[in-house]
Amino acid sequence: MVSKKIRTQAVAAGIAVLALGLTACSSGDDNTAEPGSTSSDGGAASGDAISVGFSQVGAESGWRAANTKSIQDTLTKDAGFDLKFSDAQQKQENQIQAIRSYIAQGVQYIAFSPVVETGWDAVLQEAKAANIPVILTDRAVDTADKSLYVTFIGSDFVEEGKRIGEWVNDNVATEPINVVELQGTTGSAPAIDRKQGFEDATKDNANVKIIASQTGDFTRDGGKKVMEGFLQANPDIDLVYAHNDDMALGAIEAIEAAGKVPGKDIKIVSIDGVKDGMTALSEGKINYIVECNPLLGPDLAKIIKTLHDGGTVEPRIVTQDGAFDQEQAKAALPDRQY
């Protein structure tokens, strides 16, 4: 699996890594598609604007909203881009359709965050045949052919799950605990990897027992509904591992409706670090959050400009993520951007 192989290349994190991963070159325009592409409003692409088609997963979470804003705020006309943006509403067929439409329009670059890991080879081969470089943002694809995309920029999801598991080992599972897991979208890279990372970190701790695991599709409603079912079926839940903050927030609603105290009667750990999640953490309703940085717009813009100038980029660029306990969340909240 290519994404897993790439992850084993230990790349340091963050913007610093991106800077190292970009090699500028003063000549060459090999990645530029033929002229005549149209802008999102139907007019001709203005001047030297770089046309980029971006297919977003959807609007399922606070994280996704922050990620969309970061991309739209960065790839602006003023910054030299002609951005065509589409929301796939969590459906792979919509993303494939959007990518085909970008190819037909002759955009110069395609970027997308794949809703699931598999099933992309055919459409990515079409982009390659059209000479359009593809950049994966946020989520990986599972393909044997690494030439189908130029780079994958985003967090290390296995590491995120591992950090959650290590915190649970040290802070909660010093005695036997029953864990329920709210998984992200089935088949998506973050759901697969965060599950694996948590299991890797806790597999040698006999105190950790995962008694139920189900997808809440990364949404607040999904997290709430699945948690309601967990609570009805299992009277002795000690800890919720939510693959993102939105599902943790839904779980809080379900736990409170069941007359229990989130963060105390049932502890909650999650991933993302969006403002609503950090607020619940600072209020004691969540116990620990590992951050997943959604602000990928500036790095995406740098990658495209580098390619456009004839430079090269590393095949895997890992973004930097923090982690917060309740006191750290209180300190970080006033400056939180998303």
- Interface residues with ligand AHR (CB under 6 A) are 60-61, 63-64, 138-139, 190, 218, 244, 246, 271-272, 292
Q: How far is the CB of 305 from ligand AHR (least distance, A)?
A: 24
Under 8 Å between Cβ of 81 and 54: no
Tell me the CA end-to-end span of the chain in Å, nearest whole number. Answer: 33
| The token pair that represents 80 in the structure block | 């030299």
| The token pair that represents 299 in the structure block | 């790095």
Q: How far is the CB of 272 from ligand AHR (least distance, A)?
A: 5
How many whole angstroms separate alpha carbon 129 and alpha carbon 103? 10
Smallest CA-to-CA distance from 307 within 297, 318, 299, 295 is with 299
Q: How far is the CB of 274 from ligand AHR (least distance, A)?
A: 7
Q: How far is the CB of 144 from ligand AHR (least distance, A)?
A: 22
**Torsional sign, CA 262, 264, 270, 276:** positive
Q: How far is the CB of 226 from ligand AHR (least distance, A)?
A: 15
Nearer to ligand AHR by C-beta: 108 or 219? 219
Nearer to ligand AHR by C-beta: 180 or 271? 271
The bridge status of strand 312-313 relative to strand 22-23 is antiparallel
Nearer to ligand AHR by C-beta: 247 or 307? 247
Nearer to ligand AHR by C-beta: 217 or 314? 217
Q: How far is the CB of 194 from ligand AHR (least distance, A)?
A: 8
Tell me the residue type at 157. F
Nearer to ligand AHR by C-beta: 33 or 249? 249
Q: How far is the CB of 164 from ligand AHR (least distance, A)?
A: 12
Nearer to ligand AHR by C-beta: 244 or 306? 244
Alpha helices by DSSP H, the chain: 2-7, 14-21, 62-74, 92-105, 121-129, 157-171, 189-202, 220-233, 245-257, 275-282, 297-308, 326-332
How many whole angstroms separate alpha carbon 305 and alpha carbon 302? 5
Mention every residue, 6+ apart, whose C-beta is less than 8 A from residue 264.
Answer: 284
Nearer to ligand AHR by C-beta: 3 or 61? 61
Nearer to ligand AHR by C-beta: 31 or 55? 55
Q: How far is the CB of 190 from ligand AHR (least distance, A)?
A: 4
Sheet strands side by side (includes 109-112)? 81-87, 50-56, 109-112, 134-137, 151-154, 316-318
